[in-house]
């Protein structure tokens, strides 16, 4: 009789499937989180700033997640937060024109070995080729990681060389938990789950004056993360 044995490929597949089903159940059991950005203790703060270099956005959003989401994170499933902004030019004679678009993704993951939370940042929309995360930060607590995930300072939306400022311009801003980047089995039942509808949308008027004459942008948030 052998002293030890290893699981067969069939048993390994069954084990992985059971783990996916368990995590899926946790996802579907998530408590309400859709109102976290709208009715939190602190209201969302957003500010546009015009400079000679272009148009910049600063924001501080009170991101919160449910205990079930935290449990999913602890099982090794990361969450992705998608920032999007569109600079729109109103036109009375035709449909509004999209002048510029900007997007960034913030990936939140738990590291069991170090018991720390890690944020990774990528520029652009998710695509079939994947995202290139160029900056990483580590945090000792989930609350600090979420605070940083919901904060951006002086995010350049459009470069001055590509922009002709004028009247009737606005920025359509959105922030959301990107469910499309979850493992495929999870996506089947989540799009109709209000507990996973973490989203915020705002329309911001483009300042008519440069920053030297306009109101100051949001103050820089202090973080203990490691770049």
Report the percentage of the chain scoring pLDDT > 90: 47
Residue 24 domain-assigned (yes or no): no
Report the percentage of the chain scoring pLDDT > 70: 68
Residue with tokens 């995360």: 133
Q: Residue 109: is it exposed, middle or buried by C-beta count within 10 angstroms (0-12/13-18/19+)?
A: middle
Residue 212 domain-assigned (yes or no): no
Residue with tokens 């990936």: 107
> Phi and psi dihedrals of 22, rounded to 5?
-65, -45
Q: In this predicted structure, what is the pLDDT of residue 45?
A: 95
Residue 39 domain-assigned (yes or no): yes
pLDDT band at 220 (very low <50, low <70, confident <90, very high): very low
pTM of the model: 0.76
Radius of gyration of the chain (CA): 21
Q: Which residue has the higher pLDDT, 73 or 224?
A: 73
Residue 217 domain-assigned (yes or no): no
Rounded alpha-carbon distances, angstroms, from residue 219 to 41, 60, 109, 118, 168 = 19, 10, 27, 24, 27
- In this predicted structure, which of 1-15, 54-68, 109-123, 208-222 has the lowest mean pLDDT? 1-15
Residue 219 domain-assigned (yes or no): no
Mean pLDDT of 55-69: 91
Token pair listed for 39: 């009715």
Name the domain count of the chain. Answer: 1
For 80-104, what is each residue's pLDDT tens digit? 999 999 999 998 888 999 999 999 9
Q: In this predicted structure, what is the pLDDT of residue 81?
A: 95
* Owning domain of residue 161: 33-205
Residue 225 domain-assigned (yes or no): no
Q: In this predicted structure, what is the pLDDT of residue 153?
A: 95
Residue 17 domain-assigned (yes or no): no
Q: In this predicted structure, what is the pLDDT of residue 186?
A: 62
Interacting residues of 202 by C-beta distance below 8 A, sequence separation 6+:
44, 46, 173, 174
C-beta of residue 190 within 8 angstroms of C-beta of residue 179:
yes
SS3 (DSSP) at 113 = coil
Residue 63 domain-assigned (yes or no): yes
Q: In this predicted structure, what is the pLDDT of residue 127?
A: 72
For 125-134, what is each residue's pLDDT tens digit? 877 567 888 8
């Amino acid at each position: 009789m052998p002293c030890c044995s290893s699981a067969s490929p069939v048993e390994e597949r069954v084990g992985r499937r059971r783990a996916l089903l368990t995590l899926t159940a946790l996802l579907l059991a998530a408590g309400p989180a859709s109102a976290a950005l709208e009715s939190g203790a602190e209201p969302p703060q957003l500010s546009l700033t015009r400079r000679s270099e272009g148009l910049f956005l600063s924001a501080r959003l009170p991101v919160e997640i449910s205990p079930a989401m935290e449990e999913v994170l602890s099982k090794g499933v990361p969450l992705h937060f998608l920032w999007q902004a569109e600079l729109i030019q109103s036109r009375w004679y035709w449909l509004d024109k999209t002048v510029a678009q900007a997007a960034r993704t913030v990936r939140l993951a738990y590291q069991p070995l170090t018991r720390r939370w890690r944020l990774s940042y990528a520029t652009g929309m998710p695509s079939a080729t994947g995202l290139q995360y160029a900056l990483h930060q580590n945090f000792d607590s989930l609350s600090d990681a979420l605070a940083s995930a919901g904060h951006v300072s002086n995010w350049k939306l459009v470069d001055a060389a590509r922009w002709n400022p004028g009247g009737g311009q606005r920025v359509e801003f959105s922030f959301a938990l990107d469910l499309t980047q979850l493992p495929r089995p999870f996506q089947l039942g989540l799009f109709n789950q209000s507990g996973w509808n973490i989203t915020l949308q705002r329309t911001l008027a483009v300042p008519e004056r440069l920053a030297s004459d306009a109101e100051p942008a949001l103050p820089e948030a202090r973080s203990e993360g490691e770049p």
